[in-house]
Amino acid sequence: MNQTAILRRQSTGAPEAGFGARRFQVYTLRDLDRIAALSRMPDELHFEMKVVASVLPFRVNDYVIDSLIDWDKAPEDPVFQLSFPQKGMLDPADFDRMADLFHAGADAREIQAAAQEIRNHLNPHPADQLRLNVPLDENGERLEGLQHKYRETVLFFPSQGQTCHTYCSFCFRWAQFIGDKALRMASTEAAALHRYLRNHRGVTDLLVTGGDPMVMKARRLAAYLEPLLEPAFDHIQSIRIGTKALSFWPHRFVTDEDADELLRLLERLSGAGKHIALMAHYNHWRELDTDIAREAIRRLRSTGAEIRSQGPLLAHINDSGETWARLWQTQVKAGIIPYYMFVERDTGAHRYFEVPLAKAWRVYREAMQQVSGLGRTARGPSMSAGPGKVEIQGVTEINGEKVFVLRFIQSRNPDWVQRPFFARYDESATWLDQLRPALGEERFFFEDEYQAFCAERQGG
Ligand SMILES: *Cc1c(COP(=O)(O)O)cnc(C)c1O
Ligand code: SF4
């Protein structure tokens, strides 16, 4: 072990004094009445939360309740909005339908059936992920738990990582959390992952995602990741792990039983020459504003792993330039690299959180103007749509026509990347499928090819 590694080992040993172990305690719909902080809220609000949580997933832990939510400001408090169900998340007709069932004392089976019907209309798999991105093995069998959409990067959904320490109320992967097997995209198979990566030499990045892979034990994670140090995986340069644990349960990296074991795993991977990146999901600067959150970041960085941040722009939570500027400044100060600002996907509770693309761009621009170059590494606002990640570059006028300037940050066909294209300006559009080509064009340049691809996948 070289000198730096030894120093690192020492610095990631015992956490600094003052961080006692804390038991992870979680509340779901069943325990809503046991959350003491909620007792101050009106009965009407309790009822609304129950109605919404019978359709969309709900789970919150007591660190979020005790340390992140400002209860004096609830229900408007951004972290409350981010973790507790809100009436506006359901269409009014759907809400009334569920509320009527509750008032009429309907049984669990009836409530479940109605909830399921409503969920089916909430676009559980945006961007057609399951149909279009799951790769096939040598025998033409679907490799569940893998997605391979962009040439360089394979997504892996380990089955033990398909939950989170708290569920975001706007979660774009909510369908995985409601117990419907048909909607899951998880894999139990380390062998299948490794075989696929061995056979795809063009892949440079593995992105382990969920849910939150950091709900897994270090031992589990090691079984997936440690084999990647073998020479057969030399082409895998980077291992990214998507996580919201830095916000919802920073104890994972500080006081949990296997916190040190986890840090040592990251240290070994990065020491062996892989780029290890935690893709930290953040929505508000408040999530970074506790001692335990800062300590978790410090410890992670001492392993040689990078932390990059990403998260969606959301009404009721972070839809202002000031909030984003402060979020990025706080991140840069902590050594985190801002990576993506996403447009909230067209799924689940989208109706409550959506922000028009025109406003999203204004918020992005205002925030960018307030931070130094180190904070300007965040790209966006970006839509993860079927053809790829489309960024709104700006609004301008060309020959008297007001247009959005767009480009692919990432796309199914690498040739589409970085080609500017134009859509008619639309003040209220919230997603790519609502945009129309500008400047007299009939179709966007990628549309024919994308449709041919979809048709082929449908047939096959
Ligand atoms: C965002 C994303 C990736 C990673 O893309 P990068 O541009 O490399 O960050 C990979 N696969 C899918 C399906 C994605 O949505
Ligand atoms: S961290 Fe991600 S997967 Fe987990 S609840 Fe939030 S949005 Fe969903």
**Is the CB–ligand 1 distance for residue 238 below 6 Å?**
no
CA of 153 to the centre of ligand 2 (A): 20
Percent over 70 (pLDDT), the chain: 93
Confidence of residue 71 (pLDDT cuts 50, 70, 90): very high
**Angle in degrees, CA 42, 46, 47, rounded to 5:** 115
Coil vs helix vs strand at 162: coil
- Given this model, what pLDDT does residue 109 score? 95
In the predicted structure, residue 180 carries a pLDDT above the cut 60: no
Q: Which secondary-structure segment (H or E) carries 384?
A: strand 379-384
So where are the chain's domains?
Answer: 25-120
Mean pLDDT of 24-41: 93
Percent over 90 (pLDDT), the chain: 83
Kindly identify the ligand whose nearest atom is closest to the C-alpha of 277. Answer: 1
- Antiparallel, parallel or unpaired: β 401-411 and 59-61: unpaired
Query: From the DSSP assignment, how many helices (H) and strands (E) are in the chain?
Result: 16, 13
- Given this model, what pLDDT does residue 188 score? 59
In the predicted structure, residue 125 carries a pLDDT above the cut 90: no
Kindly identify the ligand whose nearest atom is closest to the C-alpha of 129. Answer: 1
The alpha carbon of residue 157 and the mean position of all alpha carbons in its chain are separated, in whole angstroms, by 13
Cα(423)–Cα(142) distance, integer angstroms = 36
pLDDT digits (tens, 9 = 90+) for 439-450: 999 999 999 999
What is 218-272 written as a DSSP string? HHHHHHHHGGGGSGGGTT--EEEEEE-HHHH-GGGGTTSTTHHHHHHHHHHHHHT
Strand partners, 417: 408
Cα(175)–Cα(152) distance, integer angstroms = 26
Q: Whose CA is nearest to atom 6 of ligand 2?
A: 168
- Given this model, what pLDDT does residue 47 score? 96
What is 55-77 written as a DSSP string? TS--EEEHHIIIII--TTTTTT-
Among the residue ranges 38-42, 324-328, 334-338, the one predicted with the least confidence is 38-42
In the predicted structure, residue 222 carries a pLDDT above the cut 50: yes
- Given this model, what pLDDT does residue 176 score? 82
CA of 284 to the centre of ligand 1 (A): 22
Q: Closest ligand 1 atom to the C-alpha of 155?
A: 11
**Angle in degrees, CA 122, 249, 253, rounded to 5:** 130
Cα(347)–Cα(248) distance, integer angstroms = 22
Burial per residue of 179-207, b for 16 or more beta-carbon CB atoms within 10 angstroms, e otherwise:
eeeebbbbbebbebbbebbbeeeebebbb
pTM of the model: 0.93
For residue 396, how many C-alpha atoms fall within 13 Å in the half-sphere facing its CB?
Answer: 11
In the predicted structure, residue 4 carries a pLDDT above the cut 90: no
Residues with CB under 6 Å of ligand 2 are: 164, 167-168, 171-173, 210-212, 244, 281
- Given this model, what pLDDT does residue 181 score? 54
Q: Which secondary-structure segment (H or E) carries 3?
A: helix 3-11
